[in-house]
Structure 1
Amino acid sequence: MAVSEDLLWDAEDKSTRIVPRLRRMAVTGGCLGIFGSVLWVDSDVRWAVCAAAAYVLMEVAHWAWDRRRLVEARIVVGEPGGRATLRLRHAGGRITEHDPHQVARVLIIHDNVDDSSKLRLRLRRKRLFFGRPGRSPVLTTWRETCPGAAVNNRNARWGMPGIPD
């Protein structure tokens, strides 16, 4: 068990990304509005309103999912000689603490396009956490911190498009 505060996962982007999301929504809404007003004269524009509503709903769902993603995971010891806890910080700012012995699986997925990795963390109560892309961590630290977990890594399942050999 780790006795000091160790950083286990660190995401590259820790912001809430609300400005790019609002910009995308404004551009998409404006384009659908212009396209709908051009077609207003001769056709039914309900499809443009439905498409805009569906896009906004998908963007809100993605925002809610993205707020729950992990941006930082570290092991923290509260008192000298006390039990260590796994502190998880989410993109929305929420911090949760869990017992490292409750971690069932740690999976690090290496991206073969850029030099980044993604984290999949599963607790014993079937709770799954997704991590934002970050640097590849050292797996031995995860193995020492979470002794009952299955710690694995793998490459992404799809490759980079390009010229075949």
Structure 2
Amino acid sequence: MVISEDLLWDAEEKGTPTVSRLRRTAVTAGCVGLFVLVLWTASDATWAAWAAAAYVLAEIAYRVWDRRRLVEARIVVGEADGRARLRLRQAGGRTTEHDPHQVARVLIIRDNVVDSANLRLRLHGKRVLFGRPGRPPAVTTWRRTCPRAHVHERNAWWGMPGVPD
């Protein structure tokens, strides 16, 4: 097991891109609002209002899910007992520490087009934690750090655009 502090996962974007999401939501809401006003006089356009409400709810759900994604995973020496701990930091700022033996599965999905990867981490008895896209990590470091985990790496299922598979 690794005793020194090692960075296992590092996302490219660690903050929450609030301005771009607010701009996207405002533009979509404005277009749907204009569409509703144009169609409201000629026919029943309540479906457009329901579509706008569904879009806003979907955007809120995505924001909540995105704040729980992992942006950093590192192995640190525990302060109390001196044992190595797995420190996971989420996009919303929450940091948790776990025993590396609690990790059941690590899946690294490499992108076929650009040099990036996604992380899926499952702890024993817990839900799957998703990582934001980042640089592909070394699989051997994960295997050495989490000896009981099933560490697997695969390419993404989609191919390069414009090139037949």
What TM-score does the superposition give when structure 2 sets the normalisation length?
A: 0.95
Q: How far apart are 1:42 and its partner, in Å? A: 1.1
**How many residues end up aligned between the 2 structures?**
165
Match of 1:20 in 2: 20
Match of 1:71 in 2: 71
Q: How far apart are 1:81 and its partner, in Å? A: 7.3
CA deviations 1:34-84 (Å, max 9, x no partner) are 111111211112111101100000001101110110000000003497111
What is the 5 A alignment of 1:1-165?
Answer: 1-79=1-79, 82-164=82-164
- 2:15 counterpart SS class: coil
Separation (CA, whole Å) in 2 of partners of 1:79 and 1:3: 12
Q: In structure 1, what residue type is equivalent to 2:87?
A: R
Separation (CA, whole Å) in 1 of partners of 2:60 and 2:28: 14
Q: How far apart are 1:114 and its partner, in Å? A: 1.0
Separation (CA, whole Å) in 2 of partners of 1:144 and 1:78: 17
Which structure 2 segments of 5+ residues have no match?
A: none
What TM-score does the superposition give when structure 1 sets the normalisation length?
A: 0.95
Separation (CA, whole Å) in 2 of partners of 1:50 and 1:21: 20
- Deviating beyond 2 angstroms after TM superposition, the runs of 4 or more aligned structure 1 residues are 78-81
Q: In structure 2, what residue type is equivalent to 1:127?
A: R
Separation (CA, whole Å) in 2 of partners of 1:81 and 1:147: 19
Q: How far apart are 1:140 and its partner, in Å? A: 1.0
Structure 1 vs Structure 2 CA RMSD:
1.4
Separation (CA, whole Å) in 1 of partners of 2:43 and 2:108: 51
The share of aligned pairs that are identical, in percent, is: 72
Q: In structure 1, what residue type is equivalent to 2:33?
A: G
Q: In structure 1, what residue type is equivalent to 2:40?
A: W
Which structure 1 segments of 5+ residues have no match?
A: none
Q: In structure 2, what residue type is equivalent to 1:55?
A: Y
